[in-house]
Amino acid sequence: MTVQTLKTEVIGNGIGGITKEKVEIEKERMRGADMVVRALEDEGVQVVFGFPGGAVLPLYDALYDSKKLKHVLTRHEQGAVHAADGYARTSGKVGVCIATSGPGATNMVTGLTNAYMDSVPVVAITGQVPLSSIGKDSFQEADITGITLPITKYNFLVKSVEEIVPTIQKAFYIAKTGRPGPVLIDLPKDLTLCEAEYNHNGNFDIPGYRLPEMSGNGVLVKVVDLISQAEKPVICAGGGILKSGSEKELLALAEQLDIPVAVTLMGKSAFPENHRLFLGMVGMHGTAYANYAVSECDLLVGIGMRFADRVTGNVSNFASNGKIVHIDIDPAEIDKNVITDLHVVGDARAVLSRILELAGQKHLPAWNGKIAAWKEEHPLNYENKGEGLKPQFVVEKINEITGGKAFITTEVGQHQMWASHYYKSVVPRSFVTSGGLGTMGFGLPAALGVQIANPEAVVFDIAGDGSIQMNIQELCTAVQYQLPVNVAILNNRYLGMVRQWQELFHDSRYSQTDISCQPDFVALAKAYGCDALRVDNEEDVLPALEQAIASPKPFVIDFWVEREENVFPMVPAGGSINKMIRG
């Protein structure tokens, strides 16, 4: 709390002197730990996820008195980062997580890498041994700034108590501006016990960190010219659309110019999936019609996407029949994977708004008619002969009962691809998955963050029986904080995606992918305090989903699905995306 002191000053001599009152602002002195809490509050943080330990004890002592910060105690530090990640993706705010030094900090590495690959704004605060003990192999010491240098947008080792508040301000600014990403602050324990003046100031400078200016109007005019000339254009939308909040501009552009829209995995929910212009996902597990459209288009406009290998396949054959335009806020992504004909550096929302102003109306009946024929000829489908419960059927029913308006998180594997195909998202930022890193164990803790950010929403973690066991301890976190997340386990008793590759490319030699030795997930969930059911037939799927959604408690449904069901379409690694295994 800032203290105001009233002081009286007499100017002049004797009886005729003039008296002037002035208010002097005295900055409050406080411990470094209290500075951290106050600075987080001043940044507008409402929720932090974490796990305490020796090096952050003073910080947790300060959190004890905070009336503005809600701390969520996860059961593992990786879970804390994933929860902060899910919170950030669906709230549009910066996610915050805390861990102690040494193993606490290193347990965050996977979560930070995941956030880095998927451009998620997270600020991680790690405890560190006292400054005088650094470099001496002290108890629970790890060089976390060195370890995380390649997997964070920036990181800091705080070296004086006076640096604490400016460092937190800089961390939040870096995490959320430009292309978002995680920032780590390593905080030696002794600094949290030292006292200094609280020095929050919005006027700070970060040498070497400057946001790129948007490409000039001349380039945008050229982009509009290419679009106006194109007869078979396609837009490919990535996660940058969601990060910039430009879903409305993307929809307006697609409708104004009659251009079909494909999405990357990270771009799912950026475009309403019940729209006539929606193509589905492109790439290795993309829809056949999306891959055919990209392969045959005469202009591909990539917006907020990286042209990653899972999207392009063999880059020499990717969109080789047309020109490529790339719009992205990060100049480092331009021409990194695919050489473009034109590029625009800038925020997607600002760029699309300007293109909308410059572009006219357009209709493409022939091109969209051809795509409609592909959709008719090559739909997403699966054989359902009544021989067992199909995982695709389960996802379809989740979509049906929620109307595509739930928030979906996923783990990683076959279930992730089935969710991306058969769940039709119509709400922006509502599909949360691990894209770049492909992190098993992401979905459950991410769902906790999503539920906290969206307390009135229905939240489902669509999981596999392999992935769910990576961070299943976070069911306890859900119970403790009364978070009604729903977990749908598509249980095939295999590490399904790895088994599928073994079937297709290694003569069905299932080396170490049979995980039929597993816990009773219903009994385990109930032991944690959740409600739970097992379902193994179609008739019970909808009633189970209705029961889960109605429950005020976390709910786990163990769906026993056909063991060797595969994800199709599929492009073999390094293959051309128009040459798919159809199944």
Active site residues: 77, 139-140, 189, 497
114 contacts: CB under 8 Å, gap ≥ 6: 81, 82, 85, 120, 434, 436, 437, 439, 442
Instruction: Give the span between the Cα atoms of 379 and 394, in whole angstroms.
Output: 18
Q: Given 3-state DSSP classes, what are the helix, strand and coil percentages for the chain, each rounded to the nearest 5? A: 40, 20, 40
| Of 399, 552, 436, 537, residue with least CA distance to 112 | 436
> Cis ω on the peptide bond leading into residue 569 (within 30° of 0)?
yes
DSSP, res 347: -
Instruction: Give the span between the Cα atoms of 383 and 371, in whole angstroms.
Output: 24
Instruction: Give the span between the Cα atoms of 334 and 249, in whole angstroms.
Output: 22
Strands of 113-260 (E only): list them: 122-128, 154-157, 183-188, 195-197, 233-237
Q: How many CB atoms are closer than 10 A to CB 166?
A: 18
| Of 208, 146, 144, residue with least CA distance to 174 | 208
Amino acid at 120: V
User: 407: which strand partners?
Assistant: 459
Instruction: Give the span between the Cα atoms of 125 and 102, in whole angstroms.
Output: 13
Q: Where are the alpha helices (DSSP H) in 67-158?
A: 77-91, 103-106, 109-117, 144-147
Helix (H) or strand (E) holding 217: helix 217-229
Instruction: Give the span between the Cα atoms of 364 and 230, in whole angstroms.
Output: 10
User: 71: which strand partners?
Assistant: 48
Instruction: Give the span between the Cα atoms of 154 and 176, in whole angstroms.
Output: 12
Q: Is the CA virtual torsion 41, 47, 49, 54 positive or negative? A: positive
At residue 227, the 3 state secondary structure works out as helix
Strands of 27-121 (E only): list them: 29-31, 47-50, 70-73, 95-99
Amino acid at 310: R
Contact 273, 254 (CB under 8 A): no
Contact 560, 570 (CB under 8 A): no
Amino acid at 244: S
Instruction: Give the span between the Cα atoms of 239 and 444, in whole angstroms.
Output: 21
At residue 236, the 3 state secondary structure works out as strand
Q: What is the CA radius of gyration of the chain?
A: 26
Strands of 480-549 (E only): list them: 486-491, 531-535
